[in-house]
C-alpha cells in the first residue's frame, strides 16, 4: 500500500481472529518500532511480546480486579462511568499477542541545569509535561502499528490499563532497571469491519504563520 494511504486507512483494531501471529512477523513490527526517532537517539524502549494465553488472561484479570476495586470505592454515578469503559482496558485478553511497551527514564535536556540554578517550578514542569522520553515511545508505537497494518494485521494502542501497570508488570515478570510499562498493544488479524472515528481536517489543526 502507498504510504499516505496506509496512514489514512490505519484504524484501531479491538477484535481479533483466533489466528496465531508468527513470531517473525512480530519481530518485523518491533524492528519498525525500533527505527523511530528518539530523543538523543536514546532508544529508551523495550517491547515484551506476550503470546502466552494464560499470561494474557492474567494481565486482563489484574486490570479487571483493579477496575472493580476502584469502582466499589467511587460514588455510584462515577463508579458506573468508570466500569462502563472497562472493556476498553481489557479487550486485549482476546488478542493472539500483546506487546507490552516499556519506557526507560529520560531526563529532558536542560532539566538538571535548571534545577541547579533554582529555576521556577513552572519552568521545570514545562519540561516534564513535554516529556521527550514519552514522545519517543509514541513515535515507536505508531511505527509498530503502521507496520502491523501494512502486514495485514491490526492493533490498538492502549493506555487505559496503565492504572494497573504495577500488577501487569508482576504478571509479565519482565524487569529492566529504570524501565516501566507505559502501554499495551494487542495485535492480531482483524475480525470484522473497520470502525474509526472521524478525524479533524488539516485546516482545523493547522496554523500557518507567514
Ligand X SMILES: Cc1cc2nc3c(=O)[nH]c(=O)nc-3n(C[C@H](O)[C@H](O)[C@H](O)COP(=O)(O)O)c2cc1C
Binding residues for ligand X, per CB under 6 A? 11-12, 14, 88-89, 156-160, 196-197
| Number of C-beta neighbours around residue 33 at 10 A | 25
H or E stretch at 108: none
The Cα-based distances of 139 to 34, 36, 105, 190, 196 in angstroms read 9, 6, 16, 23, 20
Closest CB to ligand X among residues 88, 115? 88
Strands (E), 11-134: 45-50, 97-104
| Nearest approach, Cβ of residue 73 and ligand X (Å) | 21
H or E stretch at 186: strand 179-188
| Nearest approach, Cβ of residue 156 and ligand X (Å) | 5
Phi and psi, residue 22, nearest 5°: -60, 140
| Nearest approach, Cβ of residue 91 and ligand X (Å) | 7
- Using alpha carbons only, give the angle 103, 182, 114 rounded to the nearest 5 degrees: 55
Closest CB to ligand X among residues 117, 205? 205
Residue 90 near residue 60, CB atoms below 8 Å: yes
Closest CB to ligand X among residues 68, 196? 196
Closest CB to ligand X among residues 30, 156? 156
Number of residue whose CB is nearest ligand X:
160
| Nearest approach, Cβ of residue 114 and ligand X (Å) | 27
| Nearest approach, Cβ of residue 115 and ligand X (Å) | 28
Closest CB to ligand X among residues 56, 124? 56
Nearest to 101 by CA among 53, 22, 172, 189: 172
Amino acid at each position: 500500500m502507498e504510504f499516505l494511504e496506509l496512514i489514512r486507512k490505519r484504524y484501531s483494531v479491538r477484535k481479533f481472529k483466533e489466528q496465531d501471529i508468527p513470531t517473525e512477523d512480530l519481530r518485523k513490527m518491533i524492528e519498525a518500532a525500533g527505527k523511530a526517532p528518539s530523543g538523543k537517539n536514546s532508544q529508551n524502549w523495550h517491547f515484551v511480546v506476550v503470546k502466552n494465553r494464560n499470561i494474557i488472561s492474567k494481565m486482563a484479570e489484574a486490570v479487571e480486579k483493579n477496575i472493580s476495586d476502584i469502582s466499589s470505592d467511587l460514588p455510584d454515578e462515577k463508579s458506573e462511568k468508570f466500569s462502563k469503559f472497562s472493556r476498553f482496558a481489557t479487550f486485549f485478553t482476546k488478542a493472539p499477542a500483546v506487546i507490552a511497551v516499556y519506557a526507560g527514564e529520560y531526563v529532558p535536556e536542560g532539566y538538571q541545569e535548571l534545577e541547579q540554578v533554582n529555576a521556577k517550578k513552572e519552568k521545570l514542569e514545562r519540561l516534564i509535561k513535554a516529556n521527550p522520553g514519552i514522545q519517543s515511545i509514541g513515535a515507536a508505537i505508531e511505527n509498530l502499528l503502521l507496520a502491523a497494518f501494512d502486514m495485514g494485521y491490526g492493533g490498538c494502542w492502549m493506555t487505559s490499563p496503565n492504572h494497573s501497570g504495577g500488577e501487569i508488570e508482576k504478571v509479565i515478570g519482565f524487569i529492566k532497571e529504570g524501565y516501566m510499562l507505559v502501554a499495551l498493544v494487542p495485535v492480531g488479524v482483524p475480525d470484522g469491519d473497520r470502525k474509526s472515528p472521524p478525524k479533524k481536517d488539516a485546516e482545523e489543526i493547522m496554523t500557518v504563520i507567514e
